[in-house]
A and B are shown apart, each in its own frame.
Chain A
Amino acid sequence: MADTASDDGFVVFDRVQKSYDGETLVVKDLNLSVARGEFLTMLGPSGSGKTTCLMMLAGFETATHGDIRLGGKPINNIPPHKRGIGMVFQNYALFPHMTIAENLSFPLEVRKIGKSDREAKVKRALDMVEMGDFGGRRPAQLSGGQQQRVALARALVFEPELVLMDEPLGALDKQLREKMQFEITHLAHQLGITTVYVTHDQTEALTMSDNVAVFDDGRIQQLAPPDELYERPDNSFVAQFIGENNTLEGVVTEIKGDTCIVKLDDGEVLDATPINVNKVGDRTVVSIRPERVEYNKERLQEGVHTLKAEVLEFIYMGDIFRTRLRVAGNDEFIIKTRNAPDVERLTPGQQIEIGWLPSDCRALDA
C-alpha cells in the first residue's frame, strides 16, 4: 500500500479522516485509489470504517479531513444527488409505493429524460437483470432475490460510471447469494463500470473482486488481489480475518535470508517465512493455512522441522476432511485434507507429525 494515493485513479481517497464526535477517528488517514473499471471490495468487521468510507464517497457523510476525488475532481462539496453515483443499499431501499418500472424510471425522471427514452431505458435495464416481466409489480410482491436484481437495475439504469454496493447480498440465502455474486461481477465487467463493494463476508470479497481492501480500526490493513491476500497476508489481522487460519506463538531464534526459525513457547521449533519480524528475539505469531499442513511423512520436505500433534476430532465433510489437532498446546489447530483414495483418515487419539513448506508459514507481528 502506497503512503499517498496516486492521482491517476478514477476514485481517489487522499488522506481522508472521519470523526463523528470530535474525539475518536472512525477513519484514520485513508489512502485509496480505484482504477476505472475496477471491482474493489472493502472488507472488514463491523465498526472498521468501511461503510463510513462508502457513505463519504456517496456523499451522505462528509470527510472530516482530506480529499475524495472522482475522475480527478474533488467531490467533497458536491451534494449526493449531483454526484451521479449509482448505489445499491443493504435492504435494497426500493420505494414501496411505486411499481418496479416506476422505481427504475425515478432516476430518469429527475434527470428530465423524455418519456419514450425513459421507457426504453427502463426496459433495457430490467431485461439486463432478467426482470423484464415484472415492471408492473410492487416491490413487496417480489422475492428477496428479485428485489436485489431490481435494486441493481435501478442503480445502473441512469448509466453511472461508478456503482457503490453496501452489503447488497446480506439478506439472501446462501445459494441465491452465490448466484448473485456471480451475476453482479459479470454485469460489472460487461458494462465496464467501476464498482466499490462493501461486505463483511470474506468469501464474497474473494470471489467477486479485482482488489480487496481489508479494513480494521479505521485503516486499510492490506490492499491486494484476492489470491495475494489469502496466500500472503501482510499482518496477523489479515491472516486471521481472511479464510481459516492456524496460529502458533513463539520467538524468532534465527533469520537466514527468506526463512527463519521460530521457537514455540513449549520448546518446539519450526520453519517460517519472516514477514514482519525484524530481528532475532522478536515475538511472533506464525500463521499457516489448514490446507497447507502435511502429515504424510513421505510428502514432507527433507530437512524441515516437524511438530508433534494429537488428533482430537475428525470430521467428514464430503469433499474434504477436517481434523482438529492439539499442536504445541493449541487445541484449535485445524487441518483440511482433500477426500482422495490415497489419503489416510485420522482417528481421534492418534499421534502424528505435521509439517509444511517454510514458504506457506508466515511469521507475522505478535
Chain B
Amino acid sequence: MSDMTDTSGPVLAADGTPLKRSLAKALRRQKLRALLLISPLLLFILVSFILPIADMLYRSVDNKIVVQTLPRTVQALSDWDADSGQLPEEAVFAAMAADLKEAAAAKTHTKVGSRLNYENPGMSSIFRKTGRNAKKFDIEAGGPWKEALIEMNDDWADPDVWRTIQTYSPPTTAGYFLNAVDMRVGPDGAEMRPESEQIYMNLLKRTLWMSLFITFSCIVLAYPVAWILANLPTRQSNLLMILVLLPFWTSLLVRTSAWKILLQQQGVINDVLVWIGLVSDDARLVIINNQFGTIVAMTHILLPFMILPMYSVMQTIPPTYLRAAKSLGATDWTAFWRVYFPQTIPGIGAGSILVFILAIGYYITPALVGGTKGTFISNQIAFHISTSLNWGLASALGAILLAVVLVLYWAYDKIVGIDNVKLG
C-alpha cells in the first residue's frame, strides 16, 4: 500500500489519523448506543436491587444512633475506665441528662434504648422510664445529676449500663455480626454467649444441611423424570412437560397449604396409613411442623428447578452414545454410568446450584409447615425485620447468608467448574 511507506510510526488510517484512535472512535458510538439501550434496565436494577442490598448490608454495621442521640454522653464517657468498677463522674451524668432532655423532646430516647437493649437486656426500660421525666429536666439547676438520675432509676448505679453505652458508642459496630454468630462483647472482648442463648449458628447449620438434603432429594427424584422427558416422543414429552410445569402456575401458598392438608395428623396420609393398618389410630405420625414436613414440601416445590436444567442438558445428548457404548460391549448399566451419566453432570450441577440457593433463602414454606424445628434462618431474618424490628441483626444474618452462598459458589467453581454448568 502506498500510504504505508513510513513503517516506523503507528499504523495510520486512510485519512492520516492513527488507526487505534480511528477504531476507538468508530467503536465509541456502538458502545454508547449499547449503553443507552440497557440503561433503563441498569437504572432499575441499581435502584431496586443493588442500592437496597447495599443499604441493608450497611445496616448490619451501622451504629450512628448512639452517638447521634447521646453526643455529650459519648464525649464525656470517652475517658472513663470501665474496668475500674467505679461509676462515671458527675459530668457524665450531667451530659446524659442533657442528652436525654433533647432526645425526649425529639422522641428518640426509646430508639436508642431499644438499640442498647439488644446488647444489654433492660436498657430499654431504663431509657423509657427516665425519658418520661426528661422533658422537665432543668439542666442548670437540677443537679447534681448523679444522685437525681439514680433516684429516678437505680439501674443508673450499675456500671454495666455505662459500660454498654461506652462499648456501643462508635458509629459502626461488630455487635450485630457477633450477635448473629451467637457471640457478644464481654469485659475481655468477644466471647460466646451462654449455651441457652445460642440460636443463630445452630439455625444456620440446620438451614445448610436441610438445603443440602432437599437438593439431594431433588436430584434423585428429578433425574428419572428428566430422562423420560428427554427420551419420549415429542407429543408425550410435551404433555409430561406440562405436568412438570403445572406447579409453577399454581400459587405457592396453595401448594404449601395442600401439603398441610396431606401431612397433618388428621390428614390424608395419616388417614390412609391408619385405614390400611400400618399405623394405629392413637400413634399417628407427626410429619408436619417439623423438619420432615419442610423437606417434603420444599422438595416438591423446588423439583421443577432441578428437572428443567437436567432435561435441557439430556436433550442434547444423542441416543447414539448409548448405542455406541453397547456396541462396544458395555452392559446397560456400564453404558449409563460411564457414558451417559458423566455427560449429564452439567445439568445436575446447574439444577443443584439453582435449588440449593433457592432453598437456603426460602421463607414462606418453612414458615408454614416447619413448626419450630423446621424453620430456616430466613424465618429469623423475617422475624427481626417485621416483629422485633432489630434490622441490624437481620442485616447481619442476611449478610452471613449471602457470604455462605458466595463461598459455596466459589467452592463449586473450584471443584466442578462453573463452565460445567449448563441451563440448556
Contact = CB atoms under 8 A, between A and B. Distances in A.
Contact of B323 (A80, A82, A95, A96): A80
A168 interface: no
A230 interface: no
A288 B323 CA distance: 43
Most buried by A among B325, B327, B332, B334: B327
Given A95-B339, A96-B343, A97-B343, A110 B330 contact: yes
Interface string B309-344: 000000000101101111111111011001100110
A81 B323 contact: no
Given A95-B339, A97-B342, A106-B338, A81 B321 contact: no
A107 B328 CA distance: 5
Interface in B323-377: 323-332, 334-335, 338-339, 342-343
A93 interface: yes
Interface residues of B, number: 19
Most buried by A among B325, B331, B332: B325
Nearest to B327: A87
Contacts of B339: 95, 106
B328 A106 contact: yes
A44 interface: no
A89 interface: yes
A24 to B, nearest CB: 18
A80 B334 contact: no
Interface string A38-60: 00000000000000000000111
A253 interface: no
B84 to A, nearest CB: 70
Interface string A103-132: 000110011000000000000000000000
Contact of B329 (A89, A95, A110): A110
A91 B320 contact: yes
Contact of B330 (A59, A81, A164): A81
A155 to B, nearest CB: 8
A97 B321 CA distance: 11
A81 B318 contact: no
Contacts, number: 67
Contacts of A154: 328
A93 B318 contact: yes
A93 B331 contact: no
B343 A86 contact: no
A93 B320 CA distance: 6
A93 B324 contact: yes
A110 B337 CA distance: 12
Contacts of A96: 343
B330 A89 contact: no
Interface in B123-163: none
A302 to B, nearest CB: 60
26 contacts: A59-B326, A79-B326, A80-B323, A80-B326, A81-B327, A81-B328, A81-B332, A83-B327, A85-B327, A87-B323, A87-B327, A89-B323, A90-B320, A91-B320, A93-B320, A93-B324, A95-B321, A96-B343, A106-B328, A106-B338, A107-B328, A110-B329, A110-B331, A110-B334, A111-B329, A164-B327
| The 7 residue pairs across chains A and B that have the minimum distance between CB atoms | A93-B324, A107-B328, A87-B327, A93-B320, A80-B326, A97-B342, A110-B330
Interface of B: 318, 320-321, 323-332, 334-335, 338-339, 342-343
Interface of A: 58-60, 79-87, 89-91, 93, 95-97, 106-107, 110-111, 154-155, 158, 164
Given A87-B327, A106-B338, 18 more contacts: A58-B323, A58-B327, A80-B326, A80-B327, A81-B326, A81-B329, A82-B329, A84-B329, A86-B328, A89-B323, A93-B320, A93-B321, A95-B324, A95-B339, A106-B325, A106-B330, A107-B329, A110-B331
